[in-house]
Amino acid sequence: MPSPAFIIATVVGIVPALIGLFYVLRGFTGGFDDRKLFIAFAVGLILGIMSFAFHIFIDPVIFPPSPLGWLIYVAGFAFLDNIMIFVVLNYKWMRGMPEAPFYGVSLGIAFSATATMALVYRLLSAYPELTADAAGMLALVSTAGVAAVMLRAATGAFIGVGSARSEPWPWFGRAVMTQMPFGTLFMLLYYAGPYFDLLFSIPILAAIVGYSYWLLNYVRRTSLPESLPGQVKRKIRRERRKGLRKR
């Protein structure tokens, strides 16, 4: 029987990921292979666990306030997280496919799901009794996890665009650069707890969510539609127009 901590962590990690996947891909049916989308999601779950394992070893260096800690988290993990997705999307079974951005979305969302699951499980294990402080931290981490779903959906799409266009490195650089503001805000959010107070953390958390939501919608409006083959793109446009007329 799974422990309550594991069940809560699974819900917090997986449910936003599945909702995010549906939100991003709705309206693009026919633009990708469902089987490959599922494989990308499964691979992303594994990559998220690998990323969290790196965090366990490096967090003691990162979280004491220091310039090195900031640099490792903001730049180092932005590179590390995205290079794992980059390797998968530029492997021969996916490289050059026009639908690669959609698989990048699936990879990124699943990546954030298991990373959030592991973080929540670790938090609940450290606080077996759900005190007020633990509940506040759980709410904070859960909200940041939703933002991570949106962020990594976008960065995965960017890397997928690079794979589809055979321009991998410029788009990889874009993914890394767009993750760095998220990392900077997350470090501020971490320091808000022990060094400031809850009121200071609320606007930072709002900025994290707002930035991630803006980035995701930018990708949905630009990168994903542009990656569709012409015939599929026209079909989706016709279906959207029909839906608008019915309203």
Residue 133's domain spans which residues? 4-237
Domains in the chain: how many in total?
1
232 located within any domain: yes
pLDDT tens, position by position, 25-38: 887 877 788 899 99
| Exposure string over 76-94, b if 16+ CB within 10 A, otherwise e | bbbbbbbebbbebbbeeeb
Q: Of 12, 1, 154, give the one whose Cα is nearest residue 85.
A: 154
79 located within any domain: yes
3-class secondary structure for the chain? CCCHHHHHHHHHHHHHHHHHHHHHHCCCCCCCCHHHHHHHHHHHHHHHHHHHHHHHHHHHHHCCCCHHHHHHHHHHHHHHHHHHHHHHHCCCCCCCCCCHHHHHHHHHHHHHHHHHHHHHHHHHHHCCCCCHHHHHHHHHHHHHHHHHHHHHHHHHHHHHHHHHCCCHHHHHHHHHHHHHHHHHHHHHHHHHHHHCCHHHHHHHHHHHHHHHHHHHHHHHHCHHHHHCCHHHHHHHHHHHHHHHHHC
pLDDT (0 to 100) of residue 187: 79
Residues of the chain with pLDDT > 90, as a percent, come to: 38
Place of tokens 């699951």: 117
- Tokens at 127, concatenated: 């606080």
For residue 233, pLDDT over 70 is answered with: no
Q: Of 107, 89, 93, give the one whose Cα is nearest residue 25.
A: 107
pLDDT tens, position by position, 92-150: 878 888 889 999 999 999 999 998 888 888 777 777 776 766 777 788 888 888 999 99
37 located within any domain: yes
For residue 188, pLDDT over 70 is answered with: yes
For residue 245, pLDDT over 60 is answered with: no
68 located within any domain: yes
246 located within any domain: no
245 located within any domain: no
pTM recorded for the entire structure: 0.87
242 located within any domain: no
pLDDT (0 to 100) of residue 192: 62
223 located within any domain: yes
Mean pLDDT over all residues of the chain? 83
